[in-house]
Amino acid sequence: MTGGPKQSYILPMQKGGAVYIMTNKYNTVLYTGVTANLWRRVFEHKERLDPKCFTFKYNIDKLVYFESFHSIEEAIAREKQIKGGSRKKKEMLIN
């Protein structure tokens, strides 16, 4: 047995993601987004940190739907699918 350090191989970690839908107090506006950290992103929306953001302008601060994925790529694909659908389809997901 040799006394040198063992070589370790680090595999790249696949980062998960989430797609989410948020709305405002009166449920009049729906916002669909994607993120690698859902809870941080919802916090950012609720705290209204970016005055240039769509969610700031429309007072969107209520999470009403989310889906989790093993990879951010899957989440992005699902976000595109949801955004391409009608409001009625988004409401059906939420309900």
Tens-place pLDDT, residues 27-63: 999 999 999 999 999 999 999 988 998 999 999 999 9
d(CA 30, CA 67): 16
pLDDT of residue 50: 86
pLDDT band at 5 (very low <50, low <70, confident <90, very high): very low
The structure's pTM equals 0.82
The domain made up of 17-94 has a fold known as GIY-YIG endonuclease (3.40.1440)
Predicted local distance difference test score (pLDDT) of residue 14: 56
- Pinpoint the alpha helices (H) of 2-57: 38-47, 54-57
pLDDT tens-place string over residues 64-80: 999 999 999 999 999 99
